[in-house]
Amino acid sequence: MVRRLLVFATLCALTACLWRSYATILSVHLDVLTQTADKLCDVVESGRGPNAQAMAEYVYPAQRGREFLRQFESYHERSSYRQFGDFLDRYEALIQRVDGVRAAAGDWNATLPELRAQRDALRRLATAIRSDAATGK
């Protein structure tokens, strides 16, 4: 009996994620990615920049975003789905730019205006994506 209850509870927990709507899960990914981009800019603004080990913290949310796209591939015709793919491309470009400057021991102050502009563009795109997803686009 206990085993059956455990199996039932596990099935309920696993399917709970599927009951969430596409728009809700997408919004969570956008929140995490924009907050991570904000944090990355804050670290660069501090003048120290991230170290090699810390870069994984910034890469991982994009990997989860790509997994979301694979899980909701049936939504590929939606504007919000395609825009989120573009969002991830831009986010990953931001991460690669920071990692390149880090690896080259470059000047964070010279890079900061570009990073801020990219972060702000991500914020605007996230707002547009949320709007489209909320209306079923």
Domain borders along the chain are 21-134
Cα angle vertex 84, ends 80, 85, to 5°? 125
CB of 109 closer than 8 Å to CB of 47: yes
- pTM equals 0.84
Number of residues assigned to the chain: 137
pLDDT tens for the 137 residues of the chain, in order = 545 444 444 444 444 554 569 999 999 999 999 999 999 999 999 988 999 999 999 999 999 999 999 999 999 999 999 999 999 999 999 999 999 999 999 999 999 999 999 999 999 999 999 999 999 99
Phi, psi torsion values for 14, nearest 5 degrees: -70, -35
Torsion of CA 111, 117, 118, 121, to 10 degrees: 180
